[in-house]
């Protein structure tokens, strides 16, 4: 069996932390961030970690965390601005109606981008900051001036990009915590990134980080959306997990649902020679976090190999005028 050709990272927020959702946050005993890095490092499962500022790293703990990561040969792929989990962000961050909150969000994104730049300079990771518009959305009719809020998000991101040299990737999600998150579908995210790139006059600094569970929540076809992002040259990162279609954001272990849909994602990654990272974003509220990483990576490896086995057949089929897909599934389900 071939190993995955991509580097793997894991979000530190789900390694034996409170995490969970609003019902399950008491299911686990939280361990300190340093211990989480050691657990991941000892497991030798991943090449890097992802952190939120200030939830898993602050400007004060930055150097200490860098040193621990280095001890375990782990890159800090991403310092992501945390724009949720705080009372001030109850009505959004970049699009909050409160000017002070918007300022705070901008400052936090810029600080995260500067931390990433520092990491990148020293070959320790720091590829981009992830922007997830958590409470930047609409829940009730009449709660927002949508036009103004979309503008605030776009202008806020532009300001961050103009004040630093760092990169930003958008992680879109259709809902939760807002009933409808701004720019929450792949199409909207593509439009946003196109606009930002045009304004900046640079297409290398803004991209998209699709998360499989978020796409499934939106009832998207994984292969369709991923191929679109690759075609647009916007696939800067990938967040891996799964969930029930149109379901809650349960961030389940990769491969436990939507198996062949995810195999198709690997098909498009190979076809476009994807050469960036695969980041695990799980929510192991009952299961052991490290073992959940192991199961997910093993599942991804099995899916990747399944895709390799079928690659030529799939290519022949989709590039030809053949119309009966049973050809591929006869191969898959041959006894």
Q: What is the distance between the alpha carbons of residues 226 and 211, in angstroms, rounded to a whole number?
A: 10
Closest to 78 in 3D by CA, of 238, 293, 298: 238
Nearest-approach distance from CB 239 to Mn ion, in angstroms: 4
- CB neighbours of 242 closer than 8 A, spacing ≥ 6? 212, 213, 216, 252, 253, 254, 255, 256, 257, 258, 262
Q: What is the distance between the alpha carbons of residues 298 and 253, in angstroms, rounded to a whole number?
A: 10
**Does residue 50 bind Mn ion (CB under 5 A)?**
no
Q: In this complex, which beta carbon is closest to Mn ion, that of residue 9 or of residue 95?
A: 9
As given in the structure block, the two tokens for residue 191 are 């439009």
Nearest-approach distance from CB 270 to Mn ion, in angstroms: 22
Q: What is the distance between the alpha carbons of residues 160 and 259, in angstroms, rounded to a whole number?
A: 38
**Does residue 281 bind Mn ion (CB under 5 A)?**
yes
Q: In this complex, which beta carbon is closest to Mn ion, that of residue 212 or of residue 307?
A: 212
Nearest-approach distance from CB 211 to Mn ion, in angstroms: 4
Among 36, 108, 154, 239, binds Mn ion (CB under 5 A): 239
Nearest-approach distance from CB 318 to Mn ion, in angstroms: 29
For residues 200 to 219, the per-residue mask of contacts with Mn ion, x marking binding by CB under 5 A and - elsewhere, is -----------x--------
Residue 90 dihedral angles phi and psi, to the nearest 5°: -60, -30
**Does residue 16 bind Mn ion (CB under 5 A)?**
no
Identify the sign of the CA torsion 95, 100, 103, 108. negative
Nearest-approach distance from CB 97 to Mn ion, in angstroms: 26
Nearest-approach distance from CB 180 to Mn ion, in angstroms: 18
Q: In this complex, which beta carbon is closest to Mn ion, that of residue 75 or of residue 239?
A: 239
| Per-position DSSP letters for 274-329, written without gaps between them | --S-EEE----SSS-HHHHHHHHHHHHHHHHHHHHHHHHHHHHHHHSS---THHHH
Stretch that binds Mn ion, among 45-53, 121-129, 215-223, 233-241 (CB under 5 A): 233-241
**Does residue 251 bind Mn ion (CB under 5 A)?**
no
Q: In this complex, which beta carbon is closest to Mn ion, that of residue 80 or of residue 144?
A: 80
Q: In this complex, which beta carbon is closest to Mn ion, that of residue 109 or of residue 310?
A: 109
**Under 8 Å between Cβ of 223 and 186:** no
Residues lying near Mn ion in the complex (CB under 5 A) are found at 211, 239, 281
């Amino acid at each position: 069996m071939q190993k995955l050709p991509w580097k793997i990272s894991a979000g530190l927020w789900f390694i034996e932390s409170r995490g969970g959702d609003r019902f399950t946050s008491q299911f686990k005993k939280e361990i300190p961030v340093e211990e989480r890095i050691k657990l991941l490092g000892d497991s030798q499962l991943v090449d890097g970690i992802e952190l939120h500022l200030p939830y898993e790293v602050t400007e004060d703990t930055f150097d200490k965390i860098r040193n621990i990561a280095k001890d375990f040969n782990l890159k800090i792929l991403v310092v992501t601005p945390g724009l949720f989990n705080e009372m001030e962000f109850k009505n959004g961050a970049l699009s909050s109606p409160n000017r002070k909150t918007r300022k705070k969000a901008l400052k936090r994104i810029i600080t995260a981008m500067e931390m990433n730049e520092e990491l990148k300079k020293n070959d320790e990771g720091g590829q981009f900051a992830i922007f997830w518009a958590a409470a930047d959305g609409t829940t009730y009719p009449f709660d927002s001036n949508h036009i103004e809020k979309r503008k605030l998000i776009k202008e806020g991101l532009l300001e961050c990009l103009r004040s630093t040299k760092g990169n930003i990737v958008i992680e879109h999600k259709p809902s939760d915590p807002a009933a409808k998150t701004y720019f929450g579908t792949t199409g909207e995210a593509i439009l946003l990134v196109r606009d930002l790139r045009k304004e900046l006059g640079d297409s290398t600094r803004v991209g998209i980080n699709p998360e499989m569970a978020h796409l499934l929540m939106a009832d998207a076809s994984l292969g369709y959306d991923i191929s679109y992002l690759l075609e647009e040259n916007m696939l800067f990162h990938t967040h891996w997990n799964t969930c029930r279609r149109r379901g809650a954001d349960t961030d389940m272990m990769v491969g436990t649902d939507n198996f062949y849909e995810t195999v198709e994602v690997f098909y498009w990654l190979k076809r476009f020679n994807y050469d960036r990272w695969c980041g695990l974003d799980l929510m192991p509220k009952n299961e052991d976090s490290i073992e959940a990483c192991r199961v997910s990576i093993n599942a991804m490896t099995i899916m990747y190999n399944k895709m390799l086995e079928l690659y030529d057949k799939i290519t022949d089929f989709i590039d030809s005028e053949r119309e009966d897909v049973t050809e591929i599934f006869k191969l898959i389900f041959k006894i």
